[in-house]
Chains A and B, each alone.
Chain A
Amino acid sequence: MRWITAAEPDWEAVYTEQLPRVYNFFRYRFGASVDVEDLTARTFEKAWVARHRYRRDVAAFSTWLMTIARNVAVDHLRATRRHVPLEEATAIAGGDSPEADLIRSSDAQRLASLLAVLPERERELLALKYGAGLTNRAIAAATGLSESNVGTILHRAVQGLRAQWTQGQK
């Protein structure tokens, strides 16, 4: 009766595969200004407790997990509302020490600076795409947007980043 041996997920493998996705989702979503490990841990704790509610015939596991991660991100934003993202961006981009300059010169730091000033929605979709590694279809399923809408927003956002990146190099 193999057709109903919808075997319970191999949690060890799921953890190994999904941890970097969630971790990087938060890195892209909030940059270095937050405790990424704490948000990642909160996501996995919620998912672990609720794992019996996961239905593989409703959504892919990564989509389900990223829905929880998005909720954790929303909770974090609510709790830290007074911290304006622009201030975070300045904090990342600022710094006068040679060491800070060196860090800022790296691609990662530049990307973090550019992401920090993006509108919330664009930044979230970029975090899902490049941080969590979701496909446009999976992002659409997780956010409720249409797949074409996701593609359009991401395209514009990347175009914008590309323009700013080039501008910064001049």
Chain B
Amino acid sequence: MEDARMYALRQDPPQEFAARLKERLLREDEALPARREWPLMKMAASIVAVAAISALLTVPAVRASAVAFLALFRIVNFVALEVDPGRFKALGSEEFSLKQLIGQHVQEIQDPGPATAVLSVAQAGSLAGMDVREPAWLPDGSRIIEMSVTREGLARVTADTTRLNQVMDALGITDLRAPDRLDGQVMTVRVPPVVMVRYQHGGEGARTTRLFQARSPEVTMPTGVDIAALGEIGLRIAGLPRAEARQFARVIDWNSTMILPLPPNSTSFKQVNIAGNPGIAVQYEDSSDTTMILWSSGGRVFGLVSIQEMEQALAMANSVR
């Protein structure tokens, strides 16, 4: 019997059936009550949004330098904030997408494309243009089961204050306005290559950990705007109450701080010290208890997302060399 004959029973589902089923699924989705949980994907999207907003708003008020037309943002510190989950749900919607927030003037100069699977750490390092750091300690029975590299991404963003003000209006923020001088300013967002190594601790179906690392994303933008005022707008958009946003915006170092909004399903978070570097650890409930640790070291940012106890995740993070 030829192997091809083994596929003789295969046939495409009738198109009418496929369309009918899809329609039914979408109808059922609409009928479901709104979910309280905030899965990792949603949280990640929010983190991206806030990171971008933070970065876009991260300009020193004055930078007197011959080459200081452009200010630079790099991640050094992480700060966790409990914010309004409803607001982030709104920000994740089509109406308030990041592109809308920053004026729909995003020019993608270099598309990073999908992650490329690699076969070795050396290959990952070669593709990413950096030496890949690995945990010196792993739980018993651990092994690498997946590695990938996402190439560098580069985008140019032109600010649109009119749109930003419209968004704030739509969110009910009427006591703040985007600075006029921001309008038409061009910012560049560079996301260096990201290496992901996934470990499995034990046999099939066992717990896993993903370690991400990249040189810090960089944002350059014109100087001369009131960063604290812009930061305050960003925090209000993120859902912080007026007084807290104002106070927070004044004390934070916008040049180097990544804001991490805590998801509603987070059970705990704490500032941590990873091999002498500041970081943050968040535990949240998904289908499994998950620990996420973010820290930076030597101009590089690390993220460790692990389905195991926080102690073990911290031990792994602390051993990254």
Residue of B nearest to A3 (CB): B212
> Given known contacts A53-B287, A111-B5, A130-B9, is B212 in contact with A4 (CB within 8 Å)?
yes
Decide yes or no: A2 and B214 within 8 Å by CB, A24-B11, A37-B13, A108-B8 being known contacts. Answer: yes
Say yes or no: A107 contacts B212, CB within 8 Å: no
Tell me if A79 is interfacial: C-beta within 8 Å of chain B: no
**Stretch of A15-23, A68-76, A83-91, A94-102 contacting B (4+ beta carbons < 8 Å):** A15-23
> B41 and A55: CB pair below 8 A?
no
The size class of the interface chain B forms with chain A is 35 or more
What interface size band does chain A fall in? Answer: 35 or more
Contact at B194–A23, with CB atoms within 8 Å? no
Q: Is A52 on the interface with B (CB-CB < 8 A)?
A: yes
Tell yes or no: A5 within 8 A of B by CB.
Answer: yes
Interface residues of A in 144-170 (CB under 8 A from B): 144, 158, 161-162, 165-166
Contact B17 A58 (CB under 8 A): no
* Cβ contact within 8 Å between A52 and B303: no
Beta-carbon nearest neighbor of A27 in chain B: B9
Given contacts A1-B47, A111-B9, A112-B9, contact A44 B214 (CB under 8 A): no
Given contacts A48-B25, A57-B198, contact A4 B37 (CB under 8 A): no
B266 to chain A, nearest CB (A): 14
Q: Are B7 and A3 in contact (CB under 8 A)?
A: no
Report B282 CB to chain A, min CB distance, Å.
Answer: 11
Indicate if the CB atoms of B10 and A1 lie closer than 8 Å. Answer: no
Among B9-43, those with CB < 8 Å from A are 9-14, 17-18, 21-22, 24-25, 28-29, 32, 35, 37, 39-43
**A residues in contact with B150, CB < 8 Å:** 2
Q: Could you tell me if A49 and B32 are in contact, using CB atoms closer than 8 angstroms?
A: yes
Whether B17 pairs with A37 at a CB distance below 8 angstroms is yes
A40 at the B interface (CB under 8 A) = yes
Does B233 touch A at the CB level, under 8 Å? no
Q: Specify which of A4, A28, A144 is in contact with B303 (CB 8 Å cutoff).
A: A4
The yes or no answer to B1 lying at the interface (CB within 8 A) is yes
Interface string of B50-73 (1 = CB under 8 A from A): 010000000000000000000000
Complex CA distance for A55 and B11, rounded to whole angstroms: 29
Most chain B CB inside 10 Å of its own CB: which residue of A3, A24, A112, A165: A3
Residue B45 interfacial (CB < 8 Å)? yes
Whether, in the assembled complex, B91 has its beta carbon less than 8 Å from a beta carbon of chain A, the answer is: no
In the complex, residue of chain B having the shortest beta-carbon distance to the beta carbon of A133: B10
What's the nearest-Cβ distance from chain B to residue A50, in Å? 10
Q: What B residues does A15 contact at CB under 8 A?
A: 22, 25
> CB within 8 Å of A: which residues of B?
1, 3, 5-14, 17-18, 21-22, 24-25, 28-29, 32, 35, 37, 39-45, 47-48, 51, 112, 150, 153, 191, 194, 196, 198, 204-205, 208, 210, 212-214, 217, 258, 286-288, 292, 301, 303, 305, 307
11 contacts between A and B (CB under 8 A): A1-B303, A2-B112, A5-B48, A8-B41, A19-B13, A23-B13, A54-B287, A108-B8, A108-B9, A130-B6, A144-B204
Besides A1-B303, A27-B11, A45-B24, 7 other A-B contacts (C-beta < 8 A):
A4-B303, A5-B45, A19-B21, A52-B35, A55-B287, A55-B288, A158-B6
A contacts, CB < 8 Å to B: 1-8, 15, 19-20, 23-24, 27-28, 37, 40-41, 44-45, 48-49, 52-55, 57-59, 106-108, 110-112, 115, 126, 130-131, 140-141, 144, 158, 161-162, 165-166
